[in-house]
Amino acid sequence: MMIDVKKAMLDPTMVFKEPKEVVANDELTRDQKIEILRRWEYDARQLEVAEEEAGMAVHRPEIFDRVVQALHTLGVERDTENTPPTK
């Protein structure tokens, strides 16, 4: 089954259940994997910020850590340039 790369880049969770599935996928290039995982990382971070702003107790999503781990597997560091400044 071919994966929908465009859909995966817009919303990785629509195509993959786990970040490690992105890493293990043979259809994607390394660059595509990185782009999809960065999108996932960004989405997870946005969710965290939204919870913080709503005054909810922030439970750093486990998915965030799994995305970062998947990026490490590809030999990529976290994207610190797009990391919101810590308070």
Asked if pLDDT for residue 1 goes beyond 70, the answer is: no
Asked if pLDDT for residue 85 goes beyond 50, the answer is: no
The contacts of residue 68 (CB under 8 Å, 6+ apart) are 41, 78
Structure tokens belonging to residue 13? 């969770």
Please identify which residue in the block is written with the tokens 């995966």: 8
> Within a 10 A sphere around the Cβ of 22, how many other Cβ atoms?
26
pLDDT in tens, 23-81: 999 999 999 999 999 999 999 888 888 888 888 766 666 888 899 999 999 998 765 55
